[in-house]
Chain A
Amino acid sequence: MNHMTRRLLLSSPFLAAAMLALPRHGRAEMDLARATGFIQAAGNELVAAINDPRLDLPRRRDRVAAVLRRTIDIEGTGRFILGRYVRQATPAELAEYNRLFDDIIVRNLSARFGEYRGVRFSLGRSQQRTEEDALVNTIIERPNTPAFSLDWRVSEIGGQPKVVDVIAEGTSLRLTTRSEYAAVIQRNGGRVAPLLDAMRNQIAQLAARETRG
């Protein structure tokens, strides 16, 4: 909280009361400079791994996967995506879901980024979005490909900044995935098990493509 707000709070008992009445979440407020620095460091690490000429494709993927696991709040994001079906799943299903989701997101993203040879990344304009998290804008440039911009939603999870969403021109990956997973569950009689089957199936396909690529 900055000085301005604090002074405002002190001078306005109504506002102070309103602030106290607001439900406070476990997460702390995300500092924008910290979020930006975090994305910059993670991005540089990713770019270095992707462009390292000494690494072959599988080792590059492994390196990228390691950075992603450190950077993304995979468990929280997985829960967000499963949404109301978290309560419907048995503990065993939930544990299996977490394991599969971790595998899928890391394979998907490292397969995608692993191919970005010669990638350059720079920070665009940043903006604070809500009280709890920050949106950090980046511009991704690759040779012979149009540049595009990605927004990273950064939240404070357990005292550490973590990525909780990636947004490409207004389209949020976690929202899109949420409606995708919900559709799979609904089309299979509202059960979570068929979703897990579909996820396993997809991992097998991704793995097959990795060995080919």
Chain B
Amino acid sequence: MSTEVKTKESLFSKKNQQLLKDPFNDNNPITVQVLGICSALAITVKLEPAIVMSLSVMFVLAAGNVIISLIRNLIPNRIRIIVQLVVVASLVILVDQFLKAFAYDVSKQLSVFVGLIITNCIIMGRFEAFALGNGPWKAFLDGIGNSIGYGVILIAVAFVRELLGSGQLLGAQIIPLSWYIDMDKGTGFYANNGFFLFPPMALIVVGMIIWAQRAKNTKLIEEN
């Protein structure tokens, strides 16, 4: 028996901290692994759904990672993807049902996006790549870390899009109304950029974030 397996690792050892921090920058699920782009396009028109989506993904990913990690030695290899899918789908349905019963207003805001969590490639990706081969605590940290990495980008994109597209943040007017061009009175100099309300602009914003991140973090730049 090898002894190193037996040595107790502290809950927040360097390696475990790395699990939380890595997805934030060096291994960000959206900007580096380019996963979960679909939801980054769909729900970043406004800040509020982006925040609620990030929290829901955090719950589903952390809980799912722990469940998969707990049963990882029992899952038959040939149907492991199906098992993962069942775990995500049931968690998402449970979240949806509980929201509808106890937080009806939040559930209304999320509407179809709750269901979209199932299709979020980050979740299946982390189950397959991490939870299947690691213990529950590590899997939990990995889930939290990745969902934070995902949420940060989502919120950043939504911030830019809501501010420039609607002149608001969280539904509150930020750009002073007196700045807006008023044809009748001939005043004002500002207009919302409607292009920011369309999905392509989310891709462009994500692209700019990737650009800025790579300019700062030279580790990410490929050799050639």
A binds B: no
